[in-house]
Amino acid sequence: MLHVRRTAGKSVSSHLSVRSVSAAAAPTATIPKIYRPDKIGDREVVGYGANGRPIYIDTIMFPFPAIKFSRPTAEFKALEEKAKGDWKNMTIAEKKRLYRLNFCQTLAEVEAPTGELKSVIGFSLMWVSLALWLHLFVEWAKYSDGGKLPETFSEENQKAQLRRMLDLQVNPVSGISSKWDYEKNMWKKDVPKDA
């Protein structure tokens, strides 16, 4: 957002003059619907922000949001007027209140851990434990009828399954059927890589 201001008859371009422009000064036809003054209210536009839009966000990457956090009140305006003077005349509580009216969080609060990692680890461990219990159930079910494996595990049935896969020509390009010679009805010999 580039704003032009006039100083002693000269036109001077400045990115810093955004502070004096309120959100209501921009024509609503050029601003997308979510950024219109009816959405941000009468909060003052004070900078460029993250992407040039009048939105408030607390982030380390862009520590100065485009708009103030709080709407202007009589207390807020009085503190701003007092801040224009000597800051030695302000109490610590007034300085903190002025900061909280302009910003939602301090940068230390933004960087502080939220505890979200605990829930992520908790849910991950819950799913791992569920998978382990499911594995134990499958292992128990597999051997629950006297320790016998299903009949498909026998060598005879596995050979029959392989023969059926070859008859159906499963994956003929690079799979098991590509290694079977259908004319000689036997496995292909390994071809040397030099040939």
User: What pLDDT is stored for residue 47 in this prediction?
Assistant: 83
Q: 3-class SS at 71? A: coil
> In this predicted model, what pLDDT tens digit does every residue of 65-107 receive, in sequence order?
888 888 888 988 899 899 999 989 999 999 999 998 888 888 8
- How would residue 114 be classed by pLDDT, with cut points 50, 70 and 90? confident
- How would residue 159 be classed by pLDDT, with cut points 50, 70 and 90? very high
User: What pLDDT is stored for residue 95 in this prediction?
Assistant: 92
Closest CA to 65 of 51, 77, 78, 80: 51
Q: Domain segments of the chain: what residues?
A: 1-68, 71-112, 115-148, 154-195
Judged against a pLDDT cut of 70, whether residue 177 lies above it is answered with yes
> In this predicted model, what pLDDT tens digit does every residue of 11-47 receive, in sequence order?
333 333 333 344 444 444 554 555 566 677 788 888 8
Beta carbons of 70 and 102 less than 8 angstroms apart: yes
What value does the mean pLDDT of the chain take? 78
Which residues face 44 on adjacent strands? 22
Percent of the chain topping pLDDT 70: 76
